Each structure stands twice: as C-alpha cells, then as structure tokens.
Amino acid sequence: MAKKQPTKQRKCETCLIIVKIPSDLAKHCLETGHQADQCCQQCMKWFVSKESLAQHTAAKHRGPRGARHSTNPPSVPVAGVGTLSPPTLGSYAFRDRTYKNLCPQDMNVVYNLLIVACHSQDRLRKEGYILPDDLNKDYHTGEGQAMILKQCLPTPVCDALSPKRKAVVLDCEMAGVEGGRSEVVSICAIDFFTGEILINSLVKPKEPIIDWRSHIHGIRPPIMSIAVARRQVLDGWETAREELWKHVNENTVLVGQSPHFDLKALRVAHNKIVDTAIVTTEAAFGRGRSTGRRWGLEMLCQELLHLKIRQRSGVHDGLEDTMATRELALWCLCYPAELQQWGKKARTSFYSERARTRKRRPKRAAKPPRRRANHDGEEYYSSDEEILRWEDVVDWETWPKSPPDSD
C-alpha cells in the first residue's frame, strides 16, 4: 500500500500565518488583502505569482463571464484623489451575518467612487425621486402626490455629535392600498461597506391592504398578524422611517435597486442616491436616456455576478435582495470597463429583440414625419415609428414587482 503523502502547508508571506488547506489561504488573503492579487476569487485558489494567476485566469475564465475576476481592475479617475485602483472583490455569501468586509483602505477608494456615481438632481427627478428642494414647491399635481409631499421629510441634517453611516443599502417590500398606492410591509437596510444588518423587520401597515402581493414577497396576513401579536414589527411607515434615520443623515449615500419606490413609501426626501437600475440602464443606453429596457435585480445578478438569487421559493427576501444589491453596486463601481462591455451587448440584444417583435406585428401604413420644435426652438423631424411601445421596453421576467416596476 502506497504511503500517504503529507499535506503541504501554505504560508501567507505577509503575516506568516500557516494553513493546511489551500482554499483557506485564498480565503485568508481575500479577507485581509494580503497577496489578494495572487488569488482567484471564483476558484478560491492562491497562486505563487501574479503571472501564474494570469495564466489560470486566461485558461479558465476567458471572455466576458470571467472578466469580473481580473486581477488588475481598470483604474478609475476620481475627482480630487487622482487615479485609484478599485479593490478586488471578495467571495459572495447570502444569509450570512459574517458577511465579508472591505478593508479600511478599500473603503476609502469605494467611497470616492460611490460619491462620483451619485446621480444628478435632474436625473433623480426624471426617475420620480422626491428631493429636499421639492418639498417647498407646488408644481406637483394630484391629490395622492400632494398628500405624500405633505408627509415627506428630508433626511436628518449632519450632526458631529451623532455620526451616521456613510452609505446604506435599502430595500422595502410593499402591499397595495386604495388609490393604487403602496404601503410598506417590510424594510431591510445594511451598511454598504461592512454588510452589517442595520434593520430587518416587518412593518405593520397603517392603511387597509387590498392587495398583499404575497406572490412577490411571501408576506401574508397570518404572518403579519403573528408578528404583530408578538410585537416583532415596526408600527407603520413613520416608525420605519424613524428607524432608518438612526443610521442615515443628509450626507449618507443611499444605494438600492429603484429605491425611489421605497423612499416614496417611507416619505423620505434625499438627494445622494446610487440607483443600480439607473447605473445599468445608462451603461446600455447612455447617460440622460430615459428610454430603453430596465433590468431586474435577479437578471442583473445572474448576468453580471453569475449569482442566482431567490432560489428557495422564487419570492423576494428583503435581506438577500439587499445583499445582492450591495454586491451589484460594488461590481459596477469597481469594474466600469466590464460594465460598459455588458451594456454594449445588452443594447444590441435589446434592439435586435425589438426589431423581431415589430416584424411579427401586422404592418400599418407609415405616417409621414411631422415637423416639431424642441425646447430650444430648433425644429426636428419625428416619426411615430420611433415611439417605444410598452412591449418594447417591459421586462416580462420581472413583471409584476413590488411595487410593479421596481425590483
């Protein structure tokens, strides 16, 4: 019988820690940043040199699907701090309270990238966000909107004696009430940098629910009733907002997948936002474009991160969705070149699918282009054939959502 070979020990050259299992060394390096540029995140392997890792990456992870594991992420210019190299992202884990943290050096880099990624006020208004400056204006119409504006408050002002989080990821689940409005039934918030869970609670609705949307988030009347009886809920959107304000102020960057629905339901006005739905849409169609497809969180995770979420029952889990949004935002910040590469392919696919859809429709007589004037007074020609129809832009895989067009 052949003699069993002794297990070769591995050592971190930075802190000299010794491990017996190779994958443990890779995990240690990725968590601490020690020789992280010699580790493959996907395979959880450590290599003796950067060149060996590069050869492994080229052989095993070639092409767009392996692009996110590049050991040398592209340098991204950041205002006021010169050219910075985004950190290498760690492994992904959901439903795990020991979620991997960014090291302090990486936090500073990512924070600067996050500030640059915040959307302009014009863009946020086009997407339906309520901004602090809007609370004193009367140009909004509609009784429902007027009531929401009346109840809206800006995030707390910065107080040196009460420091808050620099960035928070937010996700709420909704149920339908009278007038087509939405009421918060759960809220989840985590620290963007550490993954620390700040809030994860059901919210007792203040208004009678006419559509629970349980098929989306799994929250049913009996579940809510039991939680209320056990006092394991937040009492209404106002209490949920107060809980959120324990962690955020006017300088906090709020991150989310279409979080304007969440903020509107919480009656929160804020203007430092990174919306991953906007980020990915702009990667595909360009900045300032409001037309085109919107991708849901589940599809973005699968296409960009190669992660499958909502596998247990298909319904949304607030904590899982919040963690996934964090990872999606981190990836978009740290790998802009790969994001643009994905956007180019997504745009091509979108227009190809739209062309196929139009070919399947019965043909109608084309109308001559009409002469119009734009807001600058200059004339341009417009054709009805250029108007996007609902079926051209809707993502049927993510419809309906909670609320219908969020994710």
Q: 250-303 pLDDT, tens per residue?
A: 999 999 999 999 999 999 999 999 999 999 999 999 987 766 788 999 999 999
Residue 212 within any structural domain of the chain? yes
Residue 381 within any structural domain of the chain? no
Q: Is the pLDDT of residue 380 over 60?
A: no
Q: Is the pLDDT of residue 62 over 50?
A: yes
Residue 103 within any structural domain of the chain? no
Question: Who has greater pLDDT, 263 or 33?
Answer: 263
Residue 291 within any structural domain of the chain? yes
Residue 87 within any structural domain of the chain? no
Give CA separation, 133 vs 122, 125, 149, in Å. 12, 11, 11
Residue 188 within any structural domain of the chain? yes
| pLDDT tens per residue, range 102-144 | 777 788 899 999 999 999 999 999 999 999 998 877 655 566 6
| pLDDT level of residue 97 (50, 70, 90 thresholds) | very low
Mean pLDDT over all residues of the chain?
A: 79
Q: Is the pLDDT of residue 27 over 90?
A: no
Residue 16 within any structural domain of the chain? no
**Percent of the chain surpassing pLDDT 90:** 47
Q: Tell me the C-alpha distance between 295 and 311, whole Å.
A: 18
| pLDDT level of residue 369 (50, 70, 90 thresholds) | low
Average pLDDT of span 376-396:
43
Average pLDDT of span 12-40:
72
Q: What local confidence, expressed as pLDDT, does residue 105 receive?
A: 73
Q: Tell me the C-alpha distance between 25 and 248, whole Å.
A: 37
Question: Which domain does 137 fall in, by range?
Answer: 111-343
- The total number of structural domains that make up the chain: 1
Q: Tell me the C-alpha distance between 32 and 267, whole Å.
A: 40
Q: What local confidence, expressed as pLDDT, does residue 180 receive?
A: 87
Q: Return the structure tokens found at 83.
A: 């050219």
**303: CATH:** 3.30.420.10
Q: What local confidence, expressed as pLDDT, does residue 85 receive?
A: 54
